[in-house]
Structure 1
Amino acid sequence: MSTMQKPNEMLLDKYEKLKGYLRSLESVAVAFSSGVDSTFLLYAAKEALGDKVMAVTASSCSFPKRELNEALEYCKSQGIKHEVVESEELKIEGFSHNPKNRCYLCKHELFEKIRKIADDNGMKEVAEGSNLDDNGDYRPGLQAVAELGVKSPLREIGFSKEQIRIMSNYLGLPTWDKQSFACLSSRFPYGEEITEKKLSMVDKSEQLLLDLGFHQLRVRIHGDMARIELDPAEFDKFMQEDVRTKVYDKLKEFGFTYVTLDLKGYRTGSMNETLSADELKSATRN
């Protein structure tokens, strides 16, 4: 993305409603990943509540170091109180087997920890950054959010991803055109064992592609095969011989036997394409 439209009056009014909603919480601990949504939410919370806001970031092997460093740097630059909590998903019973409710297991454990940090710091509420678009995909983690009483201000006020990017650009946030990110465990097909070694393979592969200048991407792991999802507009760049050869050689070095390019390109939740209609319907009701 190189340009972004300016917010219209309706969107500016929606932002004011968001700040009003956040003020009604009195104080809040924001689950902060340094992504597009949580950065926007944290900025709005800081504007609305001043020092009555803090950020909490989970550190684990499924969360790339670059994202943690960005979270640390952003909170330091904004003068926002920030705590990092260890949340090692692989220690959660059943998580490594990658069941279909994997995200629920992770989010439930994580938000219990964030709730305790919030209580210890005198914060009345916990908030997370899911947006309106998340209602349309398989998101079992939202069930944990509901069960634990975690607030979802962006969904509550009705912000879409595009609107968040427009407002983030308007507000001067560095994440306005940042690629969408989900934890590295989402790169595994349901039922395939998640290990620290495989997570590292995915992390290094995605970092390589980012370093090569690709923007929106995923490296999905299927046994010993890497399935690369890119924006179709970047296919020509990928197919340049020097780029293609480097990616292939490096991913082999990282531990993959086969390296493939997904012809449909990048899309969110592609691992959910194997779920039945009933499973998707059940999940989106939560």
Structure 2
Amino acid sequence: MSTVTKEDKYKLLINKLKKLSPFVLAFSGGVDSTFLTAAALDAEVEFEAVTVNTPFVADREINEVEKLVKKLQFEHKEIEVELAELKTALDNTAERCYFCKESIFSKIIDYAGDREVIEGSNLDDTGDYRPGRKALKELQVKSPLLEVGLTKKEIRELSKKMKLPTWNKATLSCLATRISYNDPITAQKLEKIDLAEELMRKNGFEQFRVRDHNNLARIEIAPQERSKILDLNLMDKIHSKLIKLGFKYVTLDLSAYESGSMNKEILEGENE
């Protein structure tokens, strides 16, 4: 059994950040990148945070990024990327995340110049199907949280101790992950999903996904929140609103929300 504590890992992280400085940090405003930014501030190193704003990212997440920049007070740059610039990622094959990461981080690397580029993957991100990790390795982007062995649970615990507002924030993923593979990504589909998920939030749900399977909405809800949806009036309301957004059918997944559920078929195929 390992005797290395999360506090030990944090000390290793601070030392690693000091060696990497100056660097550019890919900042999404999620749990991991916010924690990494706070650690960089703690280490008192020279760095700049960069957020790439694409149609794959919900507007509310960009708004939250701006709030975090003001709260934590760090140097920050936002880079706009148009949907057409994501090119091959729009085909939405099983390698979508690879092409997306390659495009986005190439932009960050160009902006960074001679500086190192780092991002917030943690030890738990080595599981599931994650072709984006391949792109990061090829581009030589550093992942210090992963390198020191910090898990998501440990990052949340340390974030809480550091009084970061993101310590209990719901897990983020881009809107493209809601669209079933091989169904081409369009601006209209992304907007439809974004509006559908905003509707769920306004009705009190925190951890969930609205998946788009060729115009069939499959709603996944976290275990602790599933009982909320059993209100018949709420069901009717959500169904009506999602139909108006353009979904042909609206369904509720009888199993709970599961990160990466769209990857099951790919993983099962690899294991055959």
TM range (shorter): over 0.9
Change (3 A) 1:132 1:164: same
Q: Once the two structures are superposed, what CA deviation does each residue of 1:151-178 show, in whole Å capped at 9, x if it has no partner?
A: 0011101111111111111100101111
Moved more, 18-27 or 269-278: 269-278
Match of 2:127 among 133, 136, 153: 136
Tell me the equivalent position of 1:3.
none
Matched, 1:83 2:81: no
SS in 2 for 1:180: coil
TM-score, with normalisation over the residues of structure 1? 0.90
Within 5 A, what are the aligned runs for 1:44-193?
44-50=39-45, 52-119=46-113, 124-193=115-184
Amino acid aligned to 1:235? R
Letter aligned with residue 18 of structure 1: L
- Residue type of the partner of 2:78? V
The answer on 1:11 being equivalent to 2:1 is: no
Structure 1: distance between partners of 2:195 and 2:229: 17
Whichever residue aligns with residue 101 of structure 1, its letter is E
How big is the shift at 1:134?
0.9
Q: One-letter code of the match for 1:53?
A: F
Residues in 2 aligned to 1:154 and 1:118: alpha-carbon distance in whole angstroms: 20
Over the aligned positions, Cα root-mean-square deviation in angstroms equals: 1.8
| CA pair 271-9 structure 1, distance change in 2 beyond 3 A | closer
**Pair 1:197 & 2:192 matched:** no
CA contact (8 A) 1:138 1:280 kept: no
Quick one: percent identity of the two aligned structures?
43
Which consecutive unaligned segments of at least 5 residues does structure 1 have? 1-7, 282-286
The code of the aligned residue for 2:41 comes to K
Give the letter aligned to residue 125 of structure 1. E
Which whole-Å CA distance do the structure 2 matches of 1:213 and 1:186 have between them? 22
How much does 1:266 deviate?
0.6
User: In the alignment, which of 221, 231, 246 is matched to residue 222 of structure 2?
Assistant: 231
Change (3 A) 1:183 1:145: same
- TM-score normalized by the length of structure 2: 0.94
How far did 1:198 drift? 0.6
Q: Work out which of the residue numbers 235, 255, 262 in structure 1 matches 2:246.
A: 255
Aligned residue type for 2:222: D
1:243 deviates by: 1.7
Is the Cα contact below 8 Å between 1:27 and 1:49 reproduced in 2? no
Whole-angstrom distance in 1 between the partners of 2:35 and 2:254: 32
Matches within 5 A, 1:204-283: 204-277=195-268, 279=270
C-alpha distance in 2, partners of 1:261/1:176? 28
- Read off the aligned partner of 2:30 and give its amino acid letter: G
Paired amino acid for 2:127:
G
- The alpha-carbon deviation at position 89 of structure 1 amounts to 4.4
1:115 is aligned with what amino acid? I
Counterpart CA distance in 1 for 2:174 and 2:8 is 32
Task: Report if the CA contact (8 A) 2:129-2:267 is conserved.
Answer: no
CA distance in 2, matches of 1:280, 1:69: 40
Segment drifting more, 88-97 vs 173-182: 88-97
Aligned equivalents of 1:21, 1:279: Cα separation in 2? 35
Give the Cα–Cα distance (whole angstroms) in 1 for the partners of residues 16 and 64 of structure 2. 27
2:175·2:190 contact (CA, 8 Å) conserved in 1? yes
Q: Post-superposition shift, 1:186?
A: 0.6
Q: Is the 8 A contact 1:137 1:280 kept in 2?
A: no
CA distance in 1, matches of 2:269, 2:223: 30
Contact 2:180-2:214 within 8 A present in 1 as well: no
Q: CA 1:132 to 1:9, structure 2 compared with 1: closer, same or farther past 3 Å?
A: closer
Give the length in aligned residue pairs. Answer: 270
Distance 1:226 1:114 in 2: 34
Asked if the contact 2:178/2:209 (under 8 Å) is kept, the reply is yes
- Structure 1 moving runs of 4+ over 6 Å: none
Deviation string for 1:104-125 (max 9, x for gaps)?
Answer: 1111111111112212xx6x21
SS at 2:24's partner residue?
strand
Give the counterpart letter for 1:15 in structure 2.
Y
Aligned to 2:28: 33
